[in-house]
Amino acid sequence: MGSSLALYHFLLNNGHQVQIVTPSDYPDFLDWMPGNDKVINYEHAGGKSKQLAMDAELIFCLDFNTASRMEKFADSVLASQAKKVLIDHHLDPDNFCDYTFSFETSCATCELIYYFLLELGGAECITKEISECLYTGIMTDTGSFRFSSMTSDTHLVVAALMRTGASNFAIHENIYDNFSLDRTRFLGHCIKDKLVVLPEFRTAYIAITKEELIEYNHHSGDTEGIVNYALGIKGVRLAAFFCERDHLIKISFRSKENFSVKELSSTHFSGGGHRNAAGGRSIESLDLTIAKFLSLLPGLKETLNS
């Protein structure tokens, strides 16, 4: 959303007709971002979204590396005669766009958008609204500037965004200090009742059922970041979060040091991402998915303990 809204404001300021379409809902702690009220959710406006894709002259695909991440909206985008531009930082991008700007060493797509806008419009084109959106994306993608992908050059980008109006403390508060009471209690339930630690494999995981989501009045985004609490346990190098949805188990993986969860996810759970942060999915039951995950650990033991 940070990269999409930042590019939206730039294009709008330069006289273009612009529309952001998301394939599905996204966390409500992003609702404060400038321009959010103009975003169309494909799940709520599929027909309008399809028509927009058909009528477009140019489509930007931001912060994902494969068409499948657009879910049901993918068919409309791929069928459109519009030129397509991919800007992304995930590993191994698919070749589904006319132009691909893929920089895997970048910490965030918002960092790439910042440089992209500088080339198109110069520093004077970076408005307060654009700065707020880009700062948000860089902050969240770097875990509040603590991941190894964060470089000295990124700090210079962040400093420039702050000079043009991004309020670091206000953005942090909007993202991280704005949870509902239900979500806070859900987090407590995950940590107290659902966290499983396997010291012999330096692994921890949390698994949540559909019934538990209903019990805690789950909303989009409520599971965001919970996997990091499992990874934060001393001695743990691999963490997983399993969440049961309708006909699908969504999985978040996190790791420390040189253990690649991207490889684990792409090989066994139809996923991908970064070396230390990846996502996957399973069409098996929750129990069978966890059993599969546990069956892999003995083969990973030597690597996890090295």
Which of 202, 284, 187, 214 shows the shortest CA–CA distance to 240? 202
One-letter amino acid for residue 269 of the chain: F
Please state which of the four CATH numbers 3.90.550.60, 3.30.365.10, 3.40.50.150, 3.10.310.30 is assigned to the domain occupying 181-304: 3.10.310.30
Domain formed by 2-176, architecture: Alpha-Beta Complex (3.90)
Look-up of token digits 């659902």: 194
pLDDT at res. 303 = 92
pLDDT at res. 206 = 98
Q: What is the pTM of this model?
A: 0.88
Map out the domains of the chain as residue ranges: 2-176, 181-304
Residue ranges of E strands in the chain: 21-22, 40-41, 58-62, 83-88, 99-102, 195-198, 203-208, 238-245, 248-255, 272-273, 277-282
What is the mean pLDDT of each successive set of 10 residues along the chain, which is 306 residues long?
Answer: 98 97 91 96 94 98 94 96 97 94 95 97 96 97 89 96 96 92 96 97 97 93 92 97 93 93 94 90 96 97 91
Token duo for residue 260: 């690649």
Question: For 135-155, how does the pLDDT look when each residue is reduced to its tens digit (9 = 90+)?
Answer: 999 999 998 998 888 999 999
Sequential DSSP letters for 106-141: SS-HHHHHHHHHHHHH-GGG--HHHHHHHHHHHHHH
pLDDT at res. 99 = 97
Question: For 250-296, how does the pLDDT look when each residue is reduced to its tens digit (9 = 90+)?
Answer: 999 999 988 999 999 999 999 888 889 999 999 999 999 999 999 99
Token duo for residue 48: 């309008």
pLDDT at res. 306 = 83
| Whole-number Å distance between alpha carbons of 115 and 268 | 35
pLDDT at res. 44 = 92
